[in-house]
Structure 1
Amino acid sequence: MDLKQLEHFVAVAEERHFTRAARRLNLVQSGLSASIRLLEDELGGPLFIRSTRRVDFTPAGEVLFAQARRVLAAARDARHAVTQVHGLARGRLSIGAIHGLAPFVDLPATLGRFRAAFGGIDIHLTLDGSRALIDEVREGRLDLAFTQPSDSPPDGLGSQMFACEGMVVVCAAHHRLAGANGLKLADLCEETFADLRPEWSVRRLVDRSFAAEGLQRQISFEVNDMPMLLELAAQGLAITIVPESVASARVRDTRGAPVATATLREAEEPCWELAAVFKGSAAEPLVPVARAFLDLLKLPAVAT
């Protein structure tokens, strides 16, 4: 058993889905399945109960999950401590990000923790679209970018997945689609849509999903702000499609007009991904300051 196998196991355990875990880890699904089988063989029994839509723990898997997370956290802690000993006393960290990282990554809080740990490092942050950010990493103007990964990443760039989740329809609480399950994209073509601008990764993903089915939709509202997008849906002016975590956060927010969600059938459901992109291998940034930031991001926040 090694740390890589534990990382694979934890990814499947957290995603409860082999396909999403494989995307998160930048692995082919067959390779991930083989890694889990080897771990199960080594430990003497199954760790997951597999079904067509999700996986669940066996009793052994549930015990291992708690222990594996502790081992991986300890390994990251040790690496971070060594990084601090090695210095990083001076330098610069240039980070790029798409809009709307929350609730997936709390970038401001993590930057605050990084400043506290490495006070001599200047921090520069840029917000932009996915394509521009990836180009800036490739050209060396950014050390690290949080963005939707490219379908065909340029040579010399690696990435670490931070989120991989389905997208849902958001509409007003009184809308006819509220609470519906297993909708086809064709069921939405007569609706009025609110969308983000074309440079947003979420917009491009939705556009590709409709195009793949040979469908067109009516976009009457085009904005550059996720809260505005959701508010348009809340007011019954349009429907929209956003990542499930974004929709869930808005459903829980009681300060504005109530919203509802509807799910798409699995075969047509877009999968939204968020990754940290950097120069280096798939698992390791070349720039030490980028490695230090990613290690810190994976550590649990300390309560104050």
Structure 2
Amino acid sequence: MDLKQLEHFVAVAEERHFTRASQRVNVVQSGLSASIRALEEDLGGPLFVRSTRRVALTAAGEVLLEEARRVLAAAREARNAVTQVHGLARGRLSIGAIHGLAPFIDLPASLGRFRAAFSGIDIELTLDGSRTLIDDVREGRMDIAFTQPALPIPDDLGQRMFACEGMVVVCAARHRLAGAHGMRLSDLAGETFADLRPEWSMRRLVDRTFAAAGMHRHIGFEVNDIPMLLDLAAEGLAIAMAPESVAAARMRETRGAPIATATLNEADEPCWELAAVFKGKAGEPATPVARAFLDMLGLPEVPA
């Protein structure tokens, strides 16, 4: 058993989906499956109950998950302690992010923990669009950008995946699609959509999905704010598409009109991917301060 196997195990346990977990840790699915099998053989029994779409933890897996998180957290703390000794007493950490990270990373809390650990580091935070953030990283104005992955990956950039989540259809609770499962994109024909502005990476993902299916959709509302997007859907003015956890967070709120969701079948479902992008090679940031921040977050290194 090694730390990499534990990282792979935690990714599958949290994603409950081998494909998404493999994208999160940037390992081909066959390699991830082999790593999990080797861990199960080492521990003497199955850790997951596998199905066609999702996986569930066995009783042994539930026990291991708590311990694996504790071990990985201890390893990160050890690395942070050594990093401090090696000279992160002064410097600057410049972070960029797109909107809508909250369900995946609590960036303010993470920056607060980093400030507590490295009080001599000045912290800067900028919110912007994906293209601008990646350009800022390439040109050295920013250490890390939390955004959609840079595809194809430029030679001078590295990245670590931290989210790969299916997008759901969001609609009013009274809408005909509310609660539907396994729909095709064609089931959305004739609907009016609310969507983000074209420069948003989430909008581009949805546009590519419909274009690949040879479908045109009518966008009646364009906004620059995810809460507004979901509120328009809640009022029955349009339907929208959003990552599952973003929609789930809105559903838990008590303010405003309620929303409902509908799911697409796996073949049609777009996957909303997020990554930390930085200057560097093979998943390793070029600067110590960027490495220290990503290690604190626990984002796995991308193997060469």
Taking structure 2 as the reference length, the TM-score comes to: 0.93
CA contact (8 A) 2:170 2:233 kept: yes
Aligned 1:175-194 pairs, distance under 5 A: 175-194=175-194
Aligned residue pairs, count: 299
CA contact (8 A) 1:191 1:217 kept: yes
Q: Tell me, which stretches of 5 or more residues in structure 1 are unaligned?
A: 300-304
CA contact (8 A) 1:26 1:282 kept: no
| 1:150 and 2:154 are equivalent in the alignment | no
| 1:20 and 2:25 are equivalent in the alignment | no
* Aligned position for 1:85: 85
Task: Name the CA distance, whole Å, in 1 between partners of 2:93 and 2:217.
Answer: 41
- SS at structure 1 position matched to 2:169: strand
Task: Name the CA distance, whole Å, in 1 between partners of 2:68 and 2:251.
Answer: 33
Give CA deviations for 1:2-43 in whole Å, capped at 9, x if unaligned.
111111111111111110000000111111112222222333
Task: Name the CA distance, whole Å, in 2 between partners of 1:64 and 1:281.
Answer: 32
Task: Name the CA distance, whole Å, in 1 between partners of 2:44 and 2:138.
Answer: 44
Aligned 1:252-291 pairs, distance under 5 A: 252-291=252-291
Task: Name the CA distance, whole Å, in 1 between partners of 2:256 and 2:284.
Answer: 42
Task: Name the CA distance, whole Å, in 1 between partners of 2:121 and 2:70.
Answer: 29
Distance of aligned partners of 1:113 and 1:246 in 2 relative to their CA distance in 1, 3 Å threshold: same
Query: Which amino acid in the other structure matches residue 135 of structure 1?
Result: D
- SS at structure 1 position matched to 2:123: strand
Q: 1:208 Cα shift?
A: 0.9
Give CA deviations for 1:218-270 in whole Å, capped at 9, x if unaligned.
00111111111111111111110000111011111111111111111111011
Task: Name the CA distance, whole Å, in 1 between partners of 2:232 and 2:59.
Answer: 45
Task: Name the CA distance, whole Å, in 2 between partners of 1:236 and 1:63.
Answer: 44
Query: Which amino acid in the other structure matches residue 285 of structure 1?
Result: P
Query: Which amino acid in the other structure matches residue 73 of structure 2?
Result: A
Q: Which moved more, 1:191-200 or 1:130-139?
A: 130-139
Task: Name the CA distance, whole Å, in 2 between partners of 1:113 and 1:38.
Answer: 34
- SS at structure 1 position matched to 2:285: coil
* Aligned position for 2:302: none
Query: Which amino acid in the other structure matches residue 37 of structure 2?
Result: R
Q: 1:60 Cα shift?
A: 3.0
Moved over 3 A (4+): none
Q: 1:49 Cα shift?
A: 2.1
CA contact (8 A) 2:169 2:242 kept: yes
Query: Which amino acid in the other structure matches residue 168 of structure 1?
Result: V
- SS at structure 1 position matched to 2:281: coil
* Aligned position for 2:10: 10
* Aligned position for 1:141: 141
| 1:131 and 2:131 are equivalent in the alignment | yes
Q: 1:187 Cα shift?
A: 1.0
Distance of aligned partners of 1:116 and 1:57 in 2 relative to their CA distance in 1, 3 Å threshold: closer
* Aligned position for 2:232: 232
After superposition, the CA RMSD in angstroms is 1.6
CA contact (8 A) 1:160 1:282 kept: no
Q: 1:145 Cα shift?
A: 0.5
Query: Which amino acid in the other structure matches residue 228 of structure 1?
Result: M
* Aligned position for 2:115: 115
* Aligned position for 1:302: none
Q: Which moved more, 1:13-22 or 1:44-53?
A: 44-53
Task: Name the CA distance, whole Å, in 2 between partners of 1:144 and 1:8.
Answer: 23
Taking structure 1 as the reference length, the TM-score comes to: 0.93
CA contact (8 A) 1:115 1:121 kept: yes
CA contact (8 A) 2:150 2:277 kept: no
Task: Name the CA distance, whole Å, in 2 between partners of 1:173 and 1:43.
Answer: 46
Q: 1:210 Cα shift?
A: 0.6
* Aligned position for 1:69: 69
* Aligned position for 2:51: 51
Query: Which amino acid in the other structure matches residue 3 of structure 2?
Result: L
Give CA deviations for 1:37-73 in whole Å, capped at 9, x if unaligned.
2222333333222221112223333332222111111
Task: Name the CA distance, whole Å, in 1 between partners of 2:62 and 2:101.
Answer: 30
* Aligned position for 1:206: 206
